[in-house]
Amino acid sequence: MQRPRGTRDLFGEELVSVRRVTRAMSEIFARHGCEEVETPLFEHLELFTKKSGSNIVNQIYAFKDKSSRELALRPELTAPVVRLYIQQMRSMPKPVKLCYFGNCFRYEEPQARRWRQFLQAGVEVIGSPKPEADAEVVALSYNLMRELGLDFELRMGHVRLLRELLAHAGVKGDAQDPVLRAIDSRDKQRIKDEFIHAGVGDSDEKVLRGLIELRGGAEVIGKAEALLKEIPRVAPAFKNLQEVIECLGPLGVEKFVVDLGTARGLEYYTDFVFELYVDGVQVAGGGRYDTLVETLGGDPTPAVGVGFGVDRIAQTLLKRGMIIPEDRLDCMVLPADEKVLGECLKIATELRGAGFSVDVDLMGRSLSKALAYANALKVKRVVVVGAKDLSRGQVSLRDMVSGKQELVARGEIVKKLEIVT
């Protein structure tokens, strides 16, 4: 039997790296005042088609249950968390700050660092329209990457700025979506084709191209302002982008790239957006989605969030040798012969009760083979229990690194291990 295509078995260093990332995320999320939530693995299919259209069905695992209800394995977690908010949390004091971890499923062509089952984590801040909320989500993401010790690039853009500029060019409503997808792809020929298909005139195309090619630090804002000065309808969006950037300094976000060609792939984003890259690979992305709560049946509610690709981040840490394996065991108890196995189990129970991670050799090996087994597991200390030593109320404590061995009183083994561990 083989595992399904596009899935992985996790163990050893790979699983250690995933757990390292999720622990760091849990700590950062808690520091920023987020409450953890968990939603079902499957939801009603409509939850995902309502915001993304029926074409999304080809990209997700959709099925009918025994009562012919149309369901789907969740392809992402923002929509389920928003559904949870609408159903059970909308009366809570605002903003509602939620965080989550969960496996998601997408029927995509498997490729490097992309799987059909993947672990996503994220944060949603629901209820605040303030630019400070956007900036705090960015700062949380920024702090996480620094906590993990990764060098990264933070890119920021503004979807409404692009939409207003397209509307000025005569491209409105749903006709904007394929153009935005082309812009997000960075494919120059595709962008040109979509401009032609949408009927964008030469002068408007020049402004659009000028804007989406702007990339740099805070100085980009001045260049964009000069480029857009004759188009007043973009002023509110442009001001919002400026306000978010101004909030980043007090939150400790020092390095970022203003990239006005950043459009994000998900169509529910409405305003400020951002992405995080490591070695040219996107590992996180988010932004403001002020219409999604209403789209999914709630009252009009502003919201901003971010999603992290846990697997991609963990793979990066592993590739860079930044994961230090933790010792699985503090010690192993080895019986010198079968007659003392019962006493070995008692010692292991006492040590576990004192907080140590302990195992016992239960294979009936000779002492020499048991020592070799412990060495293969990289156990640093073993407790050797022999009948002769026990009769004198003693056991042997052996340091597997130095080879040093000493007799320890049976009743003192916990205290002795506390000293040397």
Confidence (pLDDT) at 292: 94
Q: Please, which residues bridge with residue 333 across strands?
A: 360, 383
Measured CA to CA in angstroms, residue 109 lies from 83, 202, 275 at distances of 28, 37, 23
Q: What is residue 210's DSSP assignment?
A: H
Q: What are the start-end ranges of the H helices in 4-63?
A: 12-31, 46-52
Confidence at residue 266, expressed as pLDDT on a 0 to 100 scale: 54
Asked if 377 and 290 touch (Cβ cutoff 8 Å), the reply is no
Distance (Å, rounded) from C-alpha 411 to C-alpha 314?
43
Q: Which H or E element spans position 35? A: strand 35-36
Helix axes 235-248, 219-227, angle to 10 degrees: 180
Tokens of 400: 């597997």
Nearest alpha carbon to residue 277 among 174, 180, 153: 153
**CA 200-205-211 angle, 5° bins:** 135
Q: Which two tokens stand for residue 171?
A: 């491209």
Query: pLDDT of the chain along its 421 residues, tens only?
Result: 999 999 999 999 999 999 999 999 999 999 999 999 999 999 999 999 887 665 677 889 999 999 999 999 999 999 999 999 999 999 999 999 999 999 999 998 767 667 899 999 999 999 999 999 999 999 999 999 999 999 999 999 999 999 999 999 999 988 998 899 899 888 999 999 999 999 999 999 999 999 999 999 888 989 998 998 889 999 999 999 999 999 999 999 999 999 999 987 656 899 999 999 999 999 999 999 999 999 999 999 999 999 999 999 999 999 998 887 777 899 999 999 999 999 999 999 999 999 999 999 999 999 999 999 999 999 999 999 999 999 999 999 999 999 999 999 999 999 999 887 7
> What φ, ψ does residue 44 adopt, rounded to 5°?
-65, 135
Q: What is the rounded distance in angstroms from the CA atom of residue 143 to the CA atom of residue 141? A: 5
Q: Is 233 exposed, middle or buried (0-12, 13-18, 19+ CB in 10 A)?
A: exposed
**Domain range 331-420, its CATH number among 3.40.50.920, 3.40.50.800, 3.40.47.10, 3.30.565.10:** 3.40.50.800
Q: Where in the chain is the domain with CATH 3.30.930.10?
A: 12-319
Task: Specify the CATH architecture of the domain 12-319.
Answer: 2-Layer Sandwich (3.30)
What pLDDT is stored for residue 164 in this prediction? 94
Q: Give the model's pLDDT for residue 405.
A: 94
Q: What pLDDT is attached to residue 31?
A: 96
> How far, in Å, CA of 385 to CA of 239, rounded?
74
Burial of 137 (0-12, 13-18, 19+ CB in 10 A): buried
Structure tokens at 143: 């702090």
Query: With contact defined as beta carbons under 8 Å apart, do 285 and 268 qualify?
Result: no
Q: To which H or E segment does residue 360 belong?
A: strand 358-360
What residues are paired with 44 via a beta bridge? 71
Task: Considering the chain, tell me which residue range(s) the CATH 3.40.50.800 domain(s) occupy.
Answer: 331-420
pTM, full prediction = 0.88
β-strands 381-385, 153-158 pairing = unpaired
